[in-house]
Amino acid sequence: MLPPDEPTAAIACTVNGQAIRTQVPLRRSLVDWLRHDVGLTGSHVGCEHGVCGACHVRVDGLVVRGCLMLAVQADGAAIETIEGAADALTLALQQAFFEKAALQCGFCTPGMILQAAELLAANPAPSRAEVREALSGNYCRCTGYQPIVDAVMAVGAALHAK
């Protein structure tokens, strides 16, 4: 429920392929809107100032930090969250993260996977250093990063073998 004096604006966008027309508070971040108004809680909120990468979503195909973008800026955009990301790379990464035990609490995992998918789309056979560089804006407090890099490398190796 919005306070009666909260200024809002109309937006029209798609979220995971579903068209949405609604009013959004001018100050609401994209990730807060997705979580609290759209009900998609797969994108997480960690630092709220662009450091941790937990809030990653795709906007028009590019990974962005949902805490640094306002919902009103998504007017006209195609937004994809981890719940709707069903491309082959994302699915392969989800399986690899499972197989390599690349998650514990899972808080960082949606952001990690979306960022890793963007890396592998641009560079199907990255080195470990390139994986670390690509994921350097995604924090994980649990895994020590090694199994995350292992999972991304495994998907890269499978792509390279094709």
Site size with ligand FES, rule: CB under 6 A: 23
Nearest to 39 by CA among 81, 9, 99: 81
Beta bridge partners of 140: none
Helix (H, G, I), strand (E, B) or coil at 50: coil
Nearer to ligand FES, 11 or 145 (CB): 145
Distance of CA 74 to the CA centre of its chain: 15
Contacts of 27 (CB under 8 A, 6+ apart): 70
Name which position in 15, 57, 82, 103 contacts ligand FES (CB under 6 A).
103
Alpha helices, DSSP H only, in the chain?
A: 30-32, 88-99, 109-122, 128-134, 146-161
Name which position in 61, 76, 106, 144 contacts ligand FES (CB under 6 A).
106
7-26 residues near ligand FES, rule: CB under 6 A: none
- We find the least distance from the C-beta atom of residue 108 to ligand FES, in angstroms, to be 3
Nearer to ligand FES, 56 or 84 (CB): 56
- We find the least distance from the C-beta atom of residue 112 to ligand FES, in angstroms, to be 7
Nearest to 20 by CA among 30, 6, 8, 10: 10
Site string for ligand FES, 28-67 (x = CB under 6 A): -----------------xxxx-xxxxxx---------x-x
Nearer to ligand FES, 90 or 109 (CB): 109
Is residue 7 within 8 Å of residue 70, measured between CB atoms?
Answer: no
Binding interface with ligand FES (CB under 6 A): 45-48, 50-55, 65, 67, 103-109, 140-143
